[in-house]
A and B are shown apart, each in its own frame.
Chain A
């Protein structure tokens, strides 16, 4: 595999005709195809729901709630999409390209909301801001009347706000990496040609960061579509609500699968459209030509920016963090025991394991798309990243069914040749759980890696090869260092996402492998939000470990 990784003959610029000439499938087709197959198996299980028609449920949904669910879902996707782009990109531009008081701190502080699961943010927000919450209660006491106006938190606007706060880090982190690594020479050339600092942003930096922004937004929107915990806390009905109602209410996993497969198809089509809309563009950049000068926001402007960012950090992280701490203190004496060490250990171990494997797989996919940029690879790589768009429980069951099918096949085989049946092999094993994470989070690793990869100018590895470097030398000396920001972002995102992951962890964990997310589920599913605060806060701290480790490191290297 390594041979072909760095073979300049397969570099995109050397075979522009690749998409037009009939060619035999090569190694890249096979590797990306294999990864796509891994993801495709549970997806096929989901699609197999169509084998059994569920017309009764469909006609009921169509008659009653379906149109409202679709409208709700569209509102949510549009709102969250606009929100994360505006917030994520402007924050990234400010911390990566400007200078203002406290910039170095905000640079990584603004990533922290990532460590806070969206459903946790949701229940804290509702707990604080609903009619019976402390804020409105205090206002009523102060005003001396129960007739005060206060924005309704349990509303479309409230939900969009919470989701934007929870999901903007995806866009922020990817756009930030893009802005930081944009080379000095390109930006300076623009300045010399007469562009002002706003012109540079709108006409050069922003278009060049488009793949990164698109990748971050894609992740945020896929997560929005697949989300159940946050919308359920708000009692806001989306398409996912229908999926779960079909399953848990009507007891029809088939109807749930059918609904989920429609969701998947939509995501797949939009992924393909987005990718092919910019497939002709090139985003190569010199990358290492030094950091361009920052725009100094001096005086009141700098302080205004710091003030706004501080306010954002307060709302997005500090306030919920403090609330969780307060709740935790109430229960720490009764709930905190020696088992927390095990929970923490499992959480970190699973996170690290899943992140490593997923990032390696994501890198392979990235190389496949770089070296073999034809339609087949586009389809296989898009397919391989679809796991993120599916509601967690549906995907988890798909994987479970696939794993059990494998086990049952082996057992039947053993039985037919007269051997003792081995029982479960894949089902309930650590391997199956890690595979489940890989399938679910492939998109999260692939996004940042692909965006960085797309900006490496092909002449660089070509030069290395022509100077006689072997492919593994080129990998080590050229690709890995240049890819580092993307790999780091991917590792961080997948690790934190894995640690927060609930449905697959619940269903597929080996006996005894409880994690912090499992504990949060145990408490929240019966409405014991305060008791859930203790594992939630521990999870936030666990999430901080990779955030701090990796960002400090990548910051240092980039300075």
Chain B
């Protein structure tokens, strides 16, 4: 019995091993989107990377609970709201790096350099090519117009992408006007909001509705699977604010044991060498303006994107959710 207890104890002690040349990453970005890059980095530099994946909320709570004992060197997540929140909770350190500042445009990183965007996702309008005529679509705001009654499909307001979209609208138009707008969307819904973007697009293709709002990479995935599907993307707000964009990104943690190594990894991820792959693995856009998007992604056309700092999405998120609750957007 004693022997078993001892070996169990040894097992417990031995597991959380983190050697100095191993970077530890807590990631809310999916494994299959980061592992290929980590593998490439390890091959190039010999630096090992270990990681766990989970949702942003629990990972953040974990880093906070672990305090200075945290093994995490890098916190990686999707959505600027989550990154903003991590900075707000004080788990991220300020990283001063000329390389990061050169590689990443100002509006796609934290104004105080605690986190950095690594890929850009555009949340835009998708429409049925059978039932929408040229010139019919104009802006996100226009989708609240009565002419779209019974023709709009949306994903649930519980998804952070929609929360960020509404947060940015609030930043542009103020609460009152945005609430009217969201109420207009809700009135125009053809059916209850869907749990994900793919279902929204399938409903449009099947004729349940005519337009919706989705992230471009979901469209890319669906198109890859069903090339004949009668859907296309539209870039709204080209004469005004531009297409709503969000980022996935990362920041070095405050209690990182391998701060320099983690910063180097972050710099490499923003470099031309890694950016193409980082974005194209998920059919997103690179943050680094020197890097071109994947051919599939480029084929959707060029667009003007919103250049408001993405951190506004985080700052306004609570307001946005309350507004959507009031407007009856589920």
Contacts and interface: CB of A to CB of B under 8 A. Distances in A.
Interface in A501-559: 503, 506-507, 509-512, 514, 518, 521-523, 525-530
Contacts, number: 159
A425 B11 CA distance: 10
Interface stretch (B54-62, B105-113, B142-150, B305-313): B54-62
Contacts of A249: 158, 160, 163, 317-318, 321
Nearest to B22: A511
B193 interface: yes
A25 to B, nearest CB: 27
Contact of B62 (A65, A235, A400): A400
Interface string B25-56: 00000111000000000000000001111111
Interface string B247-270: 000000000000000000000000
A512 B50 contact: yes
Nearest to B206: A132
A506 B55 contact: yes
B54 A428 contact: no
B259 to A, nearest CB: 16
A400 B60 CA distance: 11
Interface residues of A, number: 64
B117 interface: no
Contact of A430 (B11, B50, B71, B191): B11
Contact of A232 (B56, B58, B195, B225): B195
B12 A430 contact: yes
Contacts of A522: 30-32, 53
B227 interface: no
B187 interface: no
A199 interface: no
Contacts of A407: 66, 69
Interface stretch (B197-205, B235-243, B286-294): B197-205
Contacts of B230: none
Interface residues of B, number: 61
A529 to B, nearest CB: 8
A111 B199 CA distance: 31
Given A234-B195, A424-B66, A424-B69, A526 B30 contact: yes
A131 B208 contact: yes
Contact of B66 (A146, A393, A404, A422): A404
A506 B53 contact: yes
A250 B61 contact: no
A523 B46 CA distance: 29
Contacts of B325: 60, 64-65
Given A428-B16, A428-B71, A506-B55, A253 B61 contact: yes
A7 interface: no
Nearest to B26: A507
B274 to A, nearest CB: 21
Contacts of B102: none
Given A397-B58, A404-B67, A511-B51, 16 more contacts: A64-B326, A65-B325, A131-B208, A132-B205, A132-B208, A235-B330, A244-B158, A245-B158, A408-B68, A423-B18, A429-B11, A430-B15, A431-B11, A511-B16, A525-B30, A527-B198
30 contacts: A64-B326, A131-B191, A136-B206, A232-B158, A235-B156, A248-B55, A248-B56, A249-B158, A249-B318, A251-B88, A251-B89, A393-B58, A397-B65, A400-B61, A404-B65, A404-B67, A408-B67, A423-B71, A424-B66, A424-B71, A429-B11, A429-B12, A429-B16, A506-B53, A507-B54, A507-B62, A510-B15, A512-B50, A518-B53, A525-B30
